[in-house]
Amino acid sequence: MLSKNIFGLKNKLKELDNKLSNKVCCFTGHRPQSLPWRFNEQDERCIRMKNKLKEEIIKAIKNGYTTFISGMALGFDMICAEIILQLKKEYPNIKLIGAIPCKTQDKLWNEKDKQK
C-alpha cells in the first residue's frame, strides 16, 4: 500500500514539475486613477504603452513563455490580460490565468468594467 502511495506521489510531482517548467510571466501594476491618462485608454500615452507591452509580450512568447498571470485589477493588470487574449488568436498555446484576490474584487466597479 505504501509503495502505491509513493509511486502515485512521484507521478503527481512529475506532473507538477512539467507544468511548472513552462516559463511564466506575471502582471500587476497601477490602477487607472494612478496612471497619467487615468481611465482614458484612447490617450496617446496609453496607446504607446499598449503597443510596447504587446511587443514585449511577443518577445516573451518567442522566448518560450506560455503562461501569463494577471492580478485582474482595473488598469495595468486588465490591459495586460486583454493583450494576452488578443495574442491568443495568433499564439493558441499561450494561456492567461486570472489571479483574482477575492470574490468581491469587482464589487465597487461600474457595469462597463465588470463586463470588460
**In angstroms, rounded to a whole number, what is the distance separating the alpha carbons of residues 39 and 91?**
29
pLDDT digits (tens, 9 = 90+) for 73-112: 999 999 999 999 999 999 999 999 999 888 898 888 989 8
pLDDT of residue 16: 60
Average pLDDT over residues 51-79: 95
Chain position carrying cell 503597443: 51
| Topology given in CATH for the domain delimited by 22-115 | Rossmann fold (3.40.50)
CA distances to 11, 61, 76, 100 from 95, rounded to whole Å, are 24, 11, 18, 15
Taking the model in full, what pTM does it have? Answer: 0.78
Helix, strand, coil distribution of the chain in percent, nearest 5: 50, 15, 35
**In angstroms, rounded to a whole number, what is the distance separating the alpha carbons of residues 21 and 85?**
22
